[in-house]
């Protein structure tokens, strides 16, 4: 599954304002709830923050994947946000996180979310410059184009 196929310009936040972990999650969850209000059963922010309390969702190389499951969805929803300044997300490599893939999966189909988590991790691992390339994109459209280019590169 290609990440860019789940996104459109309205689901890309090229300049997040928040400067801490809870703020990033709050800002992104508000956007996602506004977009998918009829599909989400409420409490998204609380679910995301509780998941983060279990352990960081930062996977290194400047990328974090705040995620949770919820009722009401038929398929996963994704939001991509960028922080030029970076945010301390307790990443395993000790670096700031700049790229945030907020992922919400259907509670009754956890496999769909797991496949997306794996796709994000694989892309981050194979394209170690993903964060820097996305941060150079000035608009949401450019971010999507860059993400698509990185996803479609032949990997060997």
Residues with active-site annotation:
67
Cβ proximity of 135 and 98 under 8 Å: yes
Distances in Å between the alpha carbon of 8 and those of 12, 63, 78, 111? Answer: 7, 19, 10, 23
């Amino acid at each position: 599954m290609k990440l860019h196929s789940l996104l459109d310009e309205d689901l890309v936040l090229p300049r997040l304002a928040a400067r801490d972990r809870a703020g990033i999650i709050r800002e992104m969850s508000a956007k996602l709830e506004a977009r998918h209000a009829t599909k989400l059963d409420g409490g998204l922010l609380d679910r995301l923050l509780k998941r983060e309390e279990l352990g960081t969702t930062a996977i290194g190389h400047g990328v974090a994947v705040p995620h949770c499951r919820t009722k009401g969805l038929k398929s996963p929803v994704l939001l991509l946000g960028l922080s030029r300044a970076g945010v301390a997300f307790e990443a395993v490599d000790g670096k700031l996180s700049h790229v945030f893939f907020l992922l919400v999966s259907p509670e009754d189909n956890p496999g769909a979310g797991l496949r997306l988590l794996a796709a994000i991790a694989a892309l981050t691992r194979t394209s170690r410059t993903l964060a820097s390339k996305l941060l150079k994109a000035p608009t949401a459209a450019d971010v999507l184009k860059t993400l698509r280019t990185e996803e479609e590169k032949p990997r060997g």
